């Protein structure tokens, strides 16, 4: 007879947040750690996702100080000659370059209806972007690496560690973090710097990232690391 096993998947009544807190508290969890040269990759800080007052159906806020934290670590990295990257998404007038990702809905708020230079495409004005020093580009798919200049740019800048911020935690942040690891980078996700629509998706994704693909740390740890770089 062929082998047959009963399901072994763990079942729990704990919430996604509680499971994440358990994982975060595990002192035996090994880290990838920081390397010697960081890049800050800020994913999709555009109004469609950061301004619930303007776009309540698509925007989300997890930590009210998220953008302030991102501005601080970006400024520290920039001051030390380390690259800062900002991405956003937008599509051509017919939305065709969204591919199959743009086929599930077709409303005013749908992904493929984010058009270039629209209010939804604009970076949040609270973001402190250095347009002369930072790399900015519009992507089409979840990962900041997919069909973009990011991979070659990080190689040129001799980066070994990618710090991923932005949203959503369960979507473009997770996809970017997985691709960062796949490209051979130590990958760091500062918890206060990522956001999602629902805490279940958010904390389940942080758990997944922490267990497999990234070090999920406090933003203060990233600030401390960039402070250490000041002495080098």
HSE of 119, CA atoms in CB hemisphere, 13 A: 9
pLDDT digits (tens, 9 = 90+) for 138-185: 999 999 999 999 999 999 999 999 999 999 999 999 999 999 999 999
Collapse the DSSP code of 116 into the 3-class scheme (helix H, G, I; strand E, B; otherwise coil) and give the result. coil
Chain Cα centroid distance, residue 203: 14
Catalytic (active site) residue 127: no
User: Average of pLDDT values for 8-21?
Assistant: 94
pLDDT at residue 231, rounded to an integer? 44
Q: Is the pLDDT of residue 60 over 50?
A: yes
Q: What is the spatial distance between Cα 44 and Cα 137, in angstroms, rounded to a whole number?
A: 10
Asked if 170 and 196 touch (Cβ cutoff 8 Å), the reply is yes
pLDDT at residue 230, rounded to an integer? 55
pLDDT at residue 26, rounded to an integer? 86
Catalytic residue, candidates 40, 67, 114, 172:
172
Which residues have C-beta within 8 Å of that of residue 46, sequence separation ≥ 6? 88, 89, 114, 120, 121, 122, 123, 124
Q: Could you give the percent of the chain with pLDDT greater than 90?
A: 92
Collapse the DSSP code of 69 into the 3-class scheme (helix H, G, I; strand E, B; otherwise coil) and give the result. helix
User: Average of pLDDT values for 61-79?
Assistant: 98
CATH level 3 topology of 33-229:
Rossmann fold (3.40.50)
In the DSSP assignment, the letter for residue 35 is -
User: Average of pLDDT values for 65-81?
Assistant: 98
Q: Is the pLDDT of residue 232 over 60?
A: no
């Amino acid at each position: 007879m062929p082998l047959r096993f009963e399901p072994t998947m763990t079942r729990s009544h704990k919430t996604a947040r509680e499971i994440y807190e358990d994982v975060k508290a595990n002192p035996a969890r090994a880290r990838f750690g920081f390397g010697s040269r960081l890049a800050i990759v800020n994913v999709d800080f555009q109004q469609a996702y950061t301004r619930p007052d303007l776009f309540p159906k698509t925007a989300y806020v997890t930590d009210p100080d998220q953008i302030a934290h991102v501005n601080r670590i970006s400024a520290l990295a920039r001051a030390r000659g380390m690259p800062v990257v900002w991405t956003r998404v937008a599509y051509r007038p017919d939305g065709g370059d969204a591919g199959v990702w743009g086929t599930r809905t077709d409303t005013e708020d749908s992904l493929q209806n984010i058009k270039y230079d629209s209010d939804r495409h604009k970076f949040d004005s609270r973001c402190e972007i250095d347009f002369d020093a930072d790399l900015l580009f519009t992507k089409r798919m979840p990962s900041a690496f997919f069909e973009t200049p990011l991979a070659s740019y990080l190689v040129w800048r001799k980066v070994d560690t990618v710090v991923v911020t932005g949203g959503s935690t369960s979507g473009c942040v997770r996809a970017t973090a997985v691709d960062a690891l796949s490209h051979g980078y130590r990958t760091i996700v500062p918890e206060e710097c990522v956001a999602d629509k629902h805490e279940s998706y958010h904390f389940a994704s942080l758990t997944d990232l922490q267990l497999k693909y990234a070090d999920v740390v406090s933003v203060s740890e990233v600030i401390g690391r960039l402070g250490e770089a000041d002495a080098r």
